[in-house]
Amino acid sequence: MGDAGLFLELDYPDTENLCLEQPFRTPEIKGLVDQAHAGWKASIENTLINNEVTLANFPMREIVHPEGILTQLRQQNYMIITG
């Protein structure tokens, strides 16, 4: 049993941006990160389209962040069931 409300209230650091702070945030690195995100999202969409049931493991920040992957999928009319 978990406290879903508490999960939503906690602050989850953006470890990706912390790791890619200057001087590491070059256009080349940003391009690689963007490319990885695009591939990751395409893989998720492919899995959702081709499988009746899909289970995924995401960092908590992606789940609760207002612009995270679950929000993005909702915006594409996927039904997200949590809890």
* Residue 38 resides in a domain: no
- The number of distinct structural domains making up the chain is 1
pLDDT for res 62: 73
Per-residue model confidence as pLDDT tens digits over 32-71: 878 887 888 888 889 888 998 887 777 777 777 777 877 8
**Would you say the C-alpha torsion 17, 19, 25, 27 has a positive or negative sign?**
negative
Domain ranges, residue 67: 55-83
More confident residue, 35 or 23: 35
Write down the residue that tokens 């395409």 correspond to: 42
* Residue 81 resides in a domain: yes
* Residue 70 resides in a domain: yes
Predicted confidence band of residue 17 (pLDDT cuts 50, 70, 90): low
* Surface-to-core class of residue 18, CB atoms within 10 Å of its CB (0-12 exposed, 13-18 middle, 19+ buried): exposed
* Residue 32 resides in a domain: no
Max distance between CA atoms of the chain, in angstroms, equals 44
What is the value of pTM for the model shown?
Answer: 0.54
